[in-house]
A and B are shown apart, each in its own frame.
Chain A
Amino acid sequence: MVTSITSFGRSGLYDWLIQRVGAAVMAAYTIFITIYLMTNPELTFEQWHALFGQLWMRVFSLVTLLSFISHAWIGLWAVLTDYLTVRLMGNKATILRIFAQMMLGGVAITYLVWGIEIIWGFN
């Protein structure tokens, strides 16, 4: 058992499942939006506004955003722990990696808050 406290859920299985489920949600959202845009070629602002005014659409969008952020976190954490490691760079790697993760975390939270503001912040 390898201990790891910086991964998303600290369990490999949990991270894996979140990433797979998230991928399915993102695929569903993409397909939905594509079909919606294709079946509404003359889309007006009012229609688009009404779509995002629906509760289910807001929840769907939020879940997609959460999936996107967790997916990115888990994936980029894997990339960082592949290349920014003590094995490859010496002791400075740990500081560098934690710093890079904090940056990524900051960006992720910013997008999340911003996204929520966009989805829920209008009437």
Chain B
Amino acid sequence: MLKVEIYRYNPDTDKAPYMKTYEFDTQGKDLMVLDVLEQLKAQDESLAYRRSCREGVCGSDGMNINGKNGLACIKPLSECVKNNKLILRPLPGLPVIRDLVVDMTQFYDQYKKIEPYLQNDTPAPAIERLQSPEDREKLDGLYECILCACCSTACPSFWWNPDKFIGPAGLLQAYRFLADSRDLATEKRLSNLDDPFSVFRCHGIQACVAVCPKGLNPTRAIGHIRNMLLQSAT
């Protein structure tokens, strides 16, 4: 039997969060963590977590799995269970609403700050704004982000200053628009980032890179932003 320990907290009834242990029979199958949660929820309806697509696309079931952030739906037990134990906690650093459900407001506020939409005041062409294949390639490794928050909630700088440091997810998206040949707001975007917190709180430890379930590299994107700032200011 697999031992599953889950962080439980219902602010209406619990004074404090606690870990609840469940016994789970995998029947020898290498299930995904989300499958385990679904079956446990069938037994214990009070268990709360977010999920939607169950295939690593929507980004809603980011959680801390045996100490490492990841998406429950694409994390096989064989990759995370240690000593026959599965320990599930909410994403670290964000306020807990209930059990594994966190309040993502701070995360989205930072995302909003980088103005995550194409800005171009020139008259729109009849069909679409074209881009050369080379320019399009520059967006690879950036546009794939599903905003699951696994990276930002694994980042110590984001834990301490979630109101001031944009965090890896937001910065990856900031660079996604800085790198877009169709976007014309580059200078404005850069000047919004040149304070001691927004970008420069990143100390390059790459905790974000280690957890991204889509294999993206926010640290590299942050390095590109820093170089762009350097080029425009010197």
Using CB atoms and an 8 Å cutoff, list the residues of chain A in contact with chain B.
Answer: 1-4, 7, 10-13, 15-17, 77-78, 81-83, 85, 87-88
Contact = CB atoms under 8 A, between A and B. Distances in A.
Contacts of A1: 191-195, 198
B7 interface: no
Interface stretch (B15-23, B137-145, B225-233): B225-233
Given A12-B198, A82-B161, 9 more contacts: A1-B191, A2-B198, A4-B197, A10-B196, A11-B233, A13-B194, A81-B161, A82-B160, A85-B160
B230 to A, nearest CB: 7
Nearest to B195: A2
Contacts of B199: 12
A6 to B, nearest CB: 9
B160 A3 contact: no
7 contacts: A1-B194, A12-B199, A13-B226, A15-B196, A16-B200, A77-B196, A88-B160
Contacts of B163: 87
Interface of B: 156-157, 160-164, 191-201, 226, 229-230, 233
Contacts of A77: 196
Question: Chain A at the B interface: mostly helix, strand, loop or mixed?
Answer: helix
Contacts, number: 58
B160 A83 contact: yes
A59 B157 CA distance: 36
B164 A2 contact: yes
B166 to A, nearest CB: 9
Task: List 7 A-B pairs, minimum CB-CB distance, nearest first.
Answer: A12-B200, A7-B196, A82-B160, A2-B197, A12-B196, A2-B195, A2-B164
A119 B76 CA distance: 63
B34 to A, nearest CB: 32
A4 B161 contact: no
A83 B156 CA distance: 11
Contacts of B233: 11, 13
B198 A78 contact: no
A79 B200 CA distance: 13
Contacts of B197: 2, 4, 12
Contact of A15 (B162, B164, B198, B200): B200
B108 to A, nearest CB: 17
A2 B196 contact: yes
